């Protein structure tokens, strides 16, 4: 073992990685880069020992904050822009396919399966605005796709998701829909409102350390899936919402912003949104990832 100095410590640690066979190429690539960047960061800011101990204590407390209702490390990744970055690296967009964005911590699997045009609303609010959402799902060649599953979920007019609000019924404002033979989906819901991401515990500490706010613009979440196609996790943003230009988790993309228009009288809803999606074929997605 060479004498460890400020100059050689990074190379010494990288040289300690296991022989090929003991670790695979991806493990070596990840660990080499992680060590280089972590050491680079410490040298950059001349990290002091007290700060290192404070960071260890912070991470320990972040772990203790995790439960079946809260994944603190995803939240920390969101606040640092890491989830949106990793999503863009994973779901590269090169053609007409719809853009994905972060999943966030509020998704619940197995929402109520609802028929075309049904409402996800189980509880009404005085200040609610109802919205009719519809659109067509196509493949990248423009053909309508039948049998696409769409999971949708959103916050209530009080800014809370159902699973974080004891006063909302289970699965309120969540639903699972399917496209018809012409690739059309439709459902009724409420206008999503801006809300703060959880800003207590260690997520709040990080936001305050960064001097950043916790707010997100109003959005409807979507997961689209169909065999043979890359699943699409995305969100549709209200073009008139506050925080559209300053999202606390950096997840807004121009092509995901839609106008919540006043609905025509015959619709019986306050607002109307038309939003089409394009799914990428899995074979095309896999061959691009391999390049």
Cα-based distances in Å from 119 to 71, 152, 267: 29, 11, 13
Asked whether 152 and 189 are in contact (CB, 8 A), the reply is yes
Point out which span in 101-109, 127-135, 185-193, 205-213 binds ligand BEZ (CB under 6 A): 101-109
Residues 124-183 that bind ligand BEZ (CB under 6 A): none
Establish if 102 lies at the interface with ligand BEZ (CB under 6 A): yes
| CA 14 and chain centroid, separation | 33
Nearer to ligand BEZ, 25 or 109 (CB): 109
Cα three-residue angle 155-159-163, rounded to 5 degrees: 55
Tokens 């280089």 appear where? 36
Q: Rule CB under 6 A: choose which of 197, 233, 236, 271 binds ligand BEZ.
A: 197
Choice between 161 and 187, CB closer to ligand BEZ: 161
Q: Is 56 left (phi over 0), alpha (psi -120 to 50) or beta?
A: alpha
Strand partners, 133: 187, 273
**Residue whose CB is less far from ligand BEZ, 136 or 197:** 197
| Residues 107-146, interacting with Fe ion (CB under 5 A) | none
Binding pattern for the stretch 199-238 against ligand BEZ, x by CB under 6 A and - elsewhere: -----------------x----------------------
Window 90-109: residues binding Fe ion (CB under 5 A): 104
Q: Tell me how far apart the alpha carbons of residues 122 and 171 are, in angstroms, rounded to a whole number.
A: 8
Judged by CB under 6 A, the stretch of 46-54, 103-111, 131-139, 142-150 that binds ligand BEZ is 103-111
Residue 249 interacting entry, from ligand BEZ, Fe ion, none, C-beta within 5 to 8 Å by type? ligand BEZ
List, in order, residues 6 or more apart from 189 with CB less than 8 Å away.
119, 120, 121, 130, 131, 133, 152, 154, 173, 175, 220
- Candidates 62, 97, 104, 190; binder of ligand BEZ (CB under 6 A) is 104
Whole-number CA gyration radius for the chain: 22
Q: How far is residue 123's CA from residue 162's CA, in Å, rounded to a whole number? A: 10
Contacts to ligand BEZ by CB under 6 A: 75, 78, 102, 104-106, 197, 216, 249
Contacts to Fe ion by CB under 5 A: 104
């Amino acid at each position: 073992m060479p004498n460890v100095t400020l100059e050689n410590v990074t190379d010494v640690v990288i040289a300690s990685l296991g022989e090929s066979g003991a670790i695979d190429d991806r493990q070596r690539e990840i660990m080499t880069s992680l060590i280089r960047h972590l050491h680079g960061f410490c040298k950059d800011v001349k990290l002091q020992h007290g700060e290192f101990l404070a960071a260890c204590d912070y991470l320990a407390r972040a772990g203790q904050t995790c439960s079946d209702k809260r994944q603190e490390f995803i939240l920390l990744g969101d606040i640092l822009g890491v989830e949106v970055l990793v999503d863009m690296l994973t779901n590269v967009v090169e053609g007409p396919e719809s853009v994905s964005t972060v999943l966030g911590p509020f998704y619940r699997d197995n929402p109520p399966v609802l028929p075309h045009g049904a409402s996800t609303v189980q509880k009404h609010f005085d200040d609610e605005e109802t919205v009719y959402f519809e659109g067509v799902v196509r493949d990248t060649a423009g053909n309508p796709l039948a049998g696409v599953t769409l999971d949708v979920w959103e916050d209530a007019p009080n800014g809370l998701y159902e699973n974080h609000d004891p006063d909302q019924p289970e699965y309120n404002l969540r639903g699972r829909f399917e496209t018809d033979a012409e690739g059309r989906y439709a459902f009724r819901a409420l206008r999503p409102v801006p809300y703060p991401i959880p800003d207590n515990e260690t997520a709040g500490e990080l936001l305050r350390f960064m001097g950043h706010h916790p707010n997100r613009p109003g959005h409807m979440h979507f997961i689209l899936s169909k065999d043979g196609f890359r699943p699409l996790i995305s969100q549709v943003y209200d073009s008139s919402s506050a925080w559209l230009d300053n999202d606390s988790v950096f997840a807004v993309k121009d092509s995901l912003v839609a106008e919540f228009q006043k609905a025509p009288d015959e619709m019986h809803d306050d607002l109307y949104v038309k939003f089409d999606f394009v799914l990428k074929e899995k074979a095309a997605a896999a061959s691009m990832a391999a390049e």
